[in-house]
């Protein structure tokens, strides 16, 4: 198998002993697939036409994906084995690390996880979203990233939400099945935005067809009308949605329309949906009307400061909470005037974390050296209430 080393790394990460061998006709792998230490043997004929096979053990799900004339096999903890923790607080919208030549760089994901947990006190992530350039990645790249984040986050992260939205319904469904197979905490789907849904029923029908491919995985709608142009109000969308999508868990609400968000929260308290706000510079306002938490790019490098804002809000010490929000806004206002997007976010993450995030995927271009110098100087100049 061409990727034997990667398979062993994934399995070792999950604590699975592996013995593998291969011959001219087939590859053979042995996995300890449950607590009783029984072995599963899988023979993968290179000539097989199947693109995916799936086995389940009492503790692990084993999935076999065809890659050219070979198969890759990975074992992940069965998602049904671990009770779901309540999602609250901050969720970092992860960037996708890339090599200088623009290939995804899986080798730094483990370091990235340790940095988020240890330096930013962040234990929830949102993978392959806007900040992660998900719609600029191939299906295979998105799967590889999802696998690596789930693997490296084992016993370290509370929630790994995988964004599986795509313009193609079959692609989105394939990504949903894959996320379920690897034990993702939840999946999220953006509205298709080339051929757009024009009303609630069309949008819900699309979401339902994706969610049904992962029938045991919590499902979030990713609402971001400034990018999709799909302006169907979430308040309208939520009416009766549990009947159509039983796994519906909540919304990643990336819009400045706090009236819509407030109506969603007010009308759906009994459903206990989770409303995760996605406009970082306005988070405090969203918290005031009842948002459960937040998903954002700034929590990659300002997570610790924003957590202090959440603590102040909970006390409640609104003067202190506002101070943190104002300072976050001061930095964002500064960099937005310079030109701020995914490429610039990757640059900020690189100089804050020390982890090379690499360039963005074209058509985006690298942040300029001038931006990096000015953004770093501005961030360093801010005096936070905690004195750091």
Per-residue tokens: 68? 């050219």
**CA dist., res. 117 & res. 120, Å (int):** 6
Based on the residue annotation, tell me whether 222 is a catalytic residue of this protein: yes
In DSSP terms, 30 is beta-bridged to 19, 41
Could you tell me if 152 and 185 are in contact, meaning their C-beta atoms sit under 8 angstroms apart?
no
Name the strands in the sheet holding 52-56, side by side, starting at the edge strand that comes first in the sequence.
52-56, 60-67, 70-77
How many angstroms separate the Cα of 27 from the Cα of each of 4, 167, 327? 10, 35, 56
Of 252, 277, 299, 301, the catalytic one is 252
Based on the residue annotation, tell me whether 156 is a catalytic residue of this protein: no
388: Cα separation from own chain's centroid: 29
**CA proximity to 142, closest of 181, 182, 104, 110:** 104
Of 65, 220, 221, 222, the catalytic one is 222
How many angstroms separate the Cα of 157 from the Cα of each of 81, 87, 101, 310? 16, 11, 30, 19
Residues with active-site annotation: 222, 252
């Amino acid at each position: 198998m061409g990727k034997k080393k990667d398979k062993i790394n994934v399995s070792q990460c999950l604590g699975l002993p592996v013995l593998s061998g291969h011959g001219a006709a087939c590859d053979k792998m042995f996995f300890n697939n449950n607590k009783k230490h029984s072995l599963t043997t899988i023979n993968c004929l290179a000539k097989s036409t199947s693109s995916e096979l799936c086995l389940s053990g009492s503790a692990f799900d084993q999935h076999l994906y065809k890659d050219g004339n070979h198969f890759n096999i990975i074992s992940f903890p069965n998602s049904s084995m671990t009770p779901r923790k309540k999602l609250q607080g901050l969720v970092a919208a992860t960037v996708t690390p890339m090599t200088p030549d623009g290939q995804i760089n899986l080798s730094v994901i483990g370091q990235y996880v340790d940095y988020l947990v240890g330096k930013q006190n962040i234990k929830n992530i949102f993978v392959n979203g806007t900040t992660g350039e998900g719609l600029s990645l191939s299906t295979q790249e998105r799967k590889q990233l999802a696998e690596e984040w789930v693997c490296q986050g084992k016993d370290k992260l509370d929630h790994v939400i995988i964004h599986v939205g795509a313009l193609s319904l079959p692609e989105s469904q394939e990504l949903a099945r894959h996320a379920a197979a690897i034990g993702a905490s939840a999946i999220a789907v953006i509205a298709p935005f080339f051929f757009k849904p024009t009303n609630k029923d069309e949008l819900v029908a699309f979401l339902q067809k994706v969610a049904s491919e992962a029938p045991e995985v919590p499902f979030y709608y990713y609402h971001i009308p400034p990018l999709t142009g799909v302006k169907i109000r979430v308040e309208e969308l939520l009416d009766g949605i549990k009947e159509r999508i039983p796994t519906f868990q909540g919304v990643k609400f990336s819009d400045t329309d706090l009236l819509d968000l407030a109506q969603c929260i007010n009308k759906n308290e009994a459903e206990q949906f989770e409303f995760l706000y996605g406009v970082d510079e306005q988070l405090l306002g969203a918290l005031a009307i009842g948002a459960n938490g937040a998903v954002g790019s700034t929590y990659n490098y300002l997570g610790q400061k924003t957590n202090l804002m959440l603590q102040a809000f909970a006390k409640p010490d609104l003067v202190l909470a506002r101070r943190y929000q104002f300072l976050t806004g001061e930095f964002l206002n500064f960099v937005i005037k310079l030109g701020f997007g995914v490429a610039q976010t990757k640059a900020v993450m690189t100089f804050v974390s020390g982890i090379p995030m690499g360039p963005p995927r074209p058509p985006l271009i690298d942040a300029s050296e001038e931006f990096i110098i000015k953004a770093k100087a501005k961030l360093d100049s801010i005096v936070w209430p905690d004195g750091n």
